[in-house]
């Protein structure tokens, strides 16, 4: 009985809030956001009732044995996966100006890393 009263109270309060948002929507400062709330508040009010219905339905299914635990299945042998060793690709050297800049930048980063590691 207490749950039914709480669900009814939630529905009444949320419908009141929806009416309030409708009044705000119709006012001069109303926006479409207020209209969205008009549609949203009744759903919030119906949610506790839906949850009570859902919990009772799940409890009834559990009593009837519909949600009984499945039989455990013994795991079969696991397949073995092997990974070949990866060989690094050869480093190619280019004489482009951009690569020279990149090499200088990498040297600078290595120098900064060496200083930071001290």
Q: Greater confidence, 116 or 107?
A: 107
Q: What is the dihedral of CA 52, 59, 1, 16, to 10 degrees?
A: 0
**Which token pair is 1?**
């009985």
Biggest CA–CA distance in the chain, Å, is 84
Q: Using a cut of 0.75, tell me whether the model's pTM lies above it.
A: no
- Is pLDDT at 66 greater than 70 in this prediction? no
> Looking at 30-34, 76-80, 87-91, which range is the least confident one?
87-91
* DSSP classification of residue 68: P
**Which token pair is 58?**
């799940």
- Is pLDDT at 103 greater than 90 in this prediction? no
Q: Measuring CA to CA, which residue among 20, 52, 30 is closest to residue 12? A: 20
> Looking at 33-42, 43-52, 81-90, 100-109, which range is the least confident one?
81-90
Which pLDDT value is given to residue 77? 80
Contact 35, 12 (CB under 8 A): no
> Looking at 34-38, 39-43, 50-54, 85-89, which range is the least confident one?
85-89
Rounded to 5 degrees, what are φ and ψ at 71? -65, 135
User: Considering the chain, what is the average pLDDT of its residues?
Assistant: 84
The whole-number average pLDDT for the span 43-64 is 90
Which pLDDT value is given to residue 49? 92
* DSSP classification of residue 107: H
């Amino acid at each position: 009985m207490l749950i039914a009263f709480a669900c009814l109270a939630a529905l009444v309060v949320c419908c009141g809030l929806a009416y309030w948002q409708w009044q705000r929507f119709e006012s001069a400062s109303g926006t479409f956001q207020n209209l969205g709330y008009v549609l949203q508040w009744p759903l919030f009010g119906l949610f506790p009732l839906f949850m009570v219905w859902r919990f009772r339905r799940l409890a009834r299914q559990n009593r009837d044995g519909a949600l009984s635990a499945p039989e455990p299945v013994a795991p079969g042998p696991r397949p073995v996966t092997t990974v070949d060793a990866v060989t690094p690709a050869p480093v190619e050297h280019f004489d482009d100006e951009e690569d020279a800049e990149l090499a200088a930048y990498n040297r600078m980063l290595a120098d900064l890393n060496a200083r930071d590691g001290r």
